[in-house]
Amino acid sequence: MKIAFAGLGVMGAPMARHLMQAGHDVVGFNRTTAKAQVWADATGGRFGETVAQAVQDVELFILCVGNDEDVRSVVTEALPYLAEGAVIVDHTTTSAKLAREMAELAAEQGRAFVDAPVSGGQAGAENGQLSVMAGGDPEALARAEPALKAYSKAIKHMGPAGSGQLTKMVNQIAIAGVVQGLAEAVHFAQVAGLDTDAAFDAVSKGAAQSWQMDNRWKTAAKGEFEFGFAVDWMRKDLGLVLDEARSNGARLALTALVDQFYAEVQAMGGNRWDTSSLAARLQSRD
Going 149 to 155 to 159 to 161, the CA torsion angle's sign is negative
* CA pair distance 25, 147, nearest whole angstrom: 11
Tell which residue, 49, 113, 48, has the closest CA to residue 79. 113
Beta-carbon contacts of 216 under 8 Å, excluding residues fewer than 6 positions away, are: 179, 182, 227, 274, 276
Sign of CA dihedral 275, 215, 125, 224: positive
Amino acid identity at 245: A
Alpha helices, DSSP H, located in the chain:
12-21, 33-43, 51-55, 68-78, 96-108, 121-127, 138-148, 163-191, 196-203, 211-221, 231-248, 253-267, 278-283
Q: Is 87 left (phi over 0), alpha (psi -120 to 50) or beta?
A: beta
Catalytic residue among 2, 149, 168, 218: 168
In a 3-state reduction of DSSP, which class is residue 24? coil
In contact, 1 and 60? CB cutoff 8 Å: yes
Exposure class string for 240-275: b at 16+ Cβ within 10 A, else e: bbbebbeeeeeebeebeebbebbeebeeeebeebbb
Contact at 8 Å (CB) between 150 and 18?
yes
168 counts as catalytic: yes
Active-site annotation, residues? 168
